[in-house]
A and B are shown apart, each in its own frame.
Chain A
């Protein structure tokens, strides 16, 4: 009972965080067809800005929406500076890997310069602990497990049930046709980055509430998100969400039975096996026309 509860809880918790991260990566891939390596630093930057805002005394209820808005703007600006100028060039996928890696490195080091190397921590969303099924958990983690699916469902609703979401999905599939029905393609690219950065920032705030923050705190979640999107497939946004929870549970099982030491190796084994057997991902479709 104890083991099951622990795995269940760990899986849900990790899965929630990975889903929040992976979905942003997938959103950018499905709309623009590029891979965004600044996703990890967006998460970190969100957490640091939240830390500064709460240090100057703002209540957390205000910090949360403020960080989301600020990070959406940062995402938009990032897109305008390191992605948009390259659209239409040959090899855009590779070039954007390089420009976003460079931007990530710059932002990471700027953070180190501005905020210093000392580890920081954010206040938890809800303070306190409780015991469920014989496992001690923090209320902060419970809050994340509850909030993440709500946020993801809202995103799904936005993409599948609103006109703007429809436009965002269309742009991914055929740029010329999008232009010819009158979509503002550039603005939609910006929007994809803005939403993605806001989601990453939210994940960063979640993470900063139970782990110490450092300028490189985004690197590991980015890597996990990468495993998730490869495993789940990148052709939709719902694929990575399910995949994130599967990977979360897989990680929880591995770390329970094999220990933390072996878990990354096993996760990469999953990545390699997926790439060998089903490179389009378990929820992906074979025939996608992007990139």
Chain B
């Protein structure tokens, strides 16, 4: 099975400052991919480069067999690679229904709009109750649900979630984690950045520790690793 997404020797960053140095990851060969590591070490930068928000300085990104490095975010979304950014404030003055409609904006997704909407309602029944409510009036958890729901409206072939549970209350977090697991079981492969190691281990089979803009450790399925070891990687010995 060839990789759905292949990042090879990628270097990228902001302005003259490189954040990622020669980073390589491969997604889709061993189930969901989890990225973890200390804050400020390039996880979000990596995801933003993959989805086209940031330019690549060198290296290649291949999705579904086609090169996507430096392609426009629009064409990348149209191919089915969909990114739910961190702490997404989404569109504060749009209603939930409007956000979901926007999620299906690409031609490819428009065909499945009705079916996808049903899927989203099934995964997040809460949203259906407040269809006409504006995003700015929602709680953090609900907003995250709208963000993920909007992404699902785009018929993702690969879904990127950047810290979906960031800043959520424990009970809502649990609910959201269950929904994300549902989405994964529904057949959408994921790349997840997550600080909650338990959740990350439950969700993903293939892990990368990102440190100083490089892959410090790769953990493939079978090479299981317990909590203590991950903690050691995280915080040092």
Q: Which residues of A are at the interface with B, using a C-beta cutoff of 8 A?
A: 163, 166-167, 169-170, 173-174, 176-184, 235-236, 287, 289
Q: Which residues of B are at the interface with A, using a C-beta cutoff of 8 A?
A: 51-53, 73-74, 77-78, 82-85, 88-94, 98, 101-103, 105-106, 109, 136, 150, 154
Docked Cα-Cα span, A235 to B85, in Å, equals: 25
Docked Cα-Cα span, A137 to B93, in Å, equals: 42
B154 CB, min distance to chain A CBs, angstroms: 7
A169 CB, min distance to chain B CBs, angstroms: 7
Docked Cα-Cα span, A212 to B12, in Å, equals: 58
Q: Are B92 and A289 in contact (CB-based, < 8 A)? A: yes
Docked Cα-Cα span, A267 to B46, in Å, equals: 53
13 A-B pairs in the complex with CB atoms less than 8 angstroms apart? A166-B102, A173-B93, A177-B89, A177-B91, A179-B52, A180-B51, A180-B82, A180-B84, A180-B85, A181-B105, A182-B105, A183-B102, A184-B74
Q: Are A166 and B73 in contact (CB-based, < 8 A)? A: no
> At the interface, is chain A mostly helix, strand, loop or mixed?
helix
- Answer whether A181 and B53 are a contact pair too, CB < 8 Å, given A166-B101, A173-B92: no
Q: Are A182 and B98 in contact (CB-based, < 8 A)? A: no
- Answer whether A177 and B73 are a contact pair too, CB < 8 Å, given A166-B101, A167-B102, A169-B94: no
B102 contact from A170, A235, A236, A289, Cβ within 8 A: A170
A69 CB, min distance to chain B CBs, angstroms: 26
B91 contact from A163, A173, A179, Cβ within 8 A: A173
B74 contact from A170, A176, A182, A287, Cβ within 8 A: A182
Q: Are B92 and A183 in contact (CB-based, < 8 A)? A: no
Q: Are B77 and A180 in contact (CB-based, < 8 A)? A: yes
Q: Are A182 and B78 in contact (CB-based, < 8 A)? A: yes
Of all A-B residue pairs in the complex, the 3 with the closest CB atoms, nearest first, are: A182-B77, A179-B73, A182-B106
B212 CB, min distance to chain A CBs, angstroms: 25
- Note all chain B residues with C-beta closer than 8 A to A180: 51, 53, 73, 77, 82-85
Docked Cα-Cα span, A123 to B84, in Å, equals: 55
Q: Chain A residue with minimal CB distance to B73?
A: A179
Q: Which of A181, A235, A236 has the most CB of B within 10 A?
A: A181
- Note all chain B residues with C-beta closer than 8 A to A166: 94, 98, 101-102
Docked Cα-Cα span, A183 to B98, in Å, equals: 14
Docked Cα-Cα span, A240 to B234, in Å, equals: 54
- Note all chain A residues with C-beta closer than 8 A to B106: 181-182
Q: Are B102 and A181 in contact (CB-based, < 8 A)? A: yes
- Answer whether A287 and B51 are a contact pair too, CB < 8 Å, given A182-B77, A182-B78: no
Q: Are B88 and A177 in contact (CB-based, < 8 A)? A: yes
B85 contact from A169, A177, A182, Cβ within 8 A: A177
Docked Cα-Cα span, A179 to B105, in Å, equals: 11
Q: Are B91 and A182 in contact (CB-based, < 8 A)? A: no
- Answer whether A167 and B105 are a contact pair too, CB < 8 Å, given A180-B73, A181-B150: yes
- Note all chain B residues with C-beta closer than 8 A to A179: 52-53, 73-74
- Note all chain A residues with C-beta closer than 8 A to B90: 174, 177
Q: Chain A residue with minimal CB distance to B83?
A: A180
Q: Chain B residue with minimal CB distance to A175?
A: B53
A40 CB, min distance to chain B CBs, angstroms: 28
